Amino acid sequence: MTPRLAPAWRTTTWLNTPEPLTLERLRGKVILLHAFQMLCPGCVARGIPQAQRVAELFAGAPLAVVGLHTVFEHHEAMKLESLRAFLHEYRVKFPVGVDAPGEGGNPIPQTMDAYAMRGTPTTVLIDAQGRLRRQLFGVHDDLLLGAELQTLLLEAQAGPVSGVQRPATEVLPAAACDASGCAAPSR
């Protein structure tokens, strides 16, 4: 099954970025979209810290970590000024878009609806060509997320003919080991 293009984000406001972000602007980068609500316990305890770690650990890679504040409950408590304070207090540095309210009285925000998200937190992985590659409701396992991101980054590096470019492997002489430990070989 061929991955489909990720739906466009429908946002009203962007924080932590000078300009609104779009999938087109981020083309060529792998995207981790983290959908959250600031009053969601799983988002606060696990999802947002995970997205922050990804942003830090993959700094310099062609990877964009983007937050999507998608409010489907407690609308009055999660207004823009509260979100600004929340991002400041939790030291969230990655860009965060505010999902546009649902149309025609729909309590589900527009981007959440377009992606058929089941709730928050939701992790969405989009490849460098803008295709939706993975979507997971709930907290994503750190190790699995890292492996999936690395796979997408390697795909983004792959040339049309040459395949994935991997660094040359250096072979080092065996280390000397005894009961007290292993000494690294001298270079």
Distances (CA, A) of 34 to 16, 50, 80, 92, 183: 14, 9, 18, 12, 43
Give the residue carrying structure tokens 């997971």.
Answer: 136
- Contact between 110 and 98 (Cβ < 8 Å): no
- Contact between 126 and 134 (Cβ < 8 Å): no
pLDDT band at 167 (very low <50, low <70, confident <90, very high): very low
Rounded to the nearest 10 degrees, the angle between the axes of helix 142-157 and helix 48-57 is 40
Is 161 a residue whose pLDDT tops 50?
A: no
Across the range 161-169, mean pLDDT stands at: 35
Per-residue pLDDT tens for 45-78? 999 999 999 999 999 999 999 999 998 888 788 8
Q: What is the amino acid identity at position 118? A: R
pTM of the shown model: 0.82
Q: What is the amino acid identity at position 143? A: L
**DSSP helix, strand, coil percent of the chain (3-state; round to 5):** 30, 25, 50
DSSP calls for 130-170: SBEEEEEESPPPHHHHHHHHHHHHHHHH-BTTTB---PPPP
CA–CA gap between residue 167 and residue 165 (Å, rounded): 7
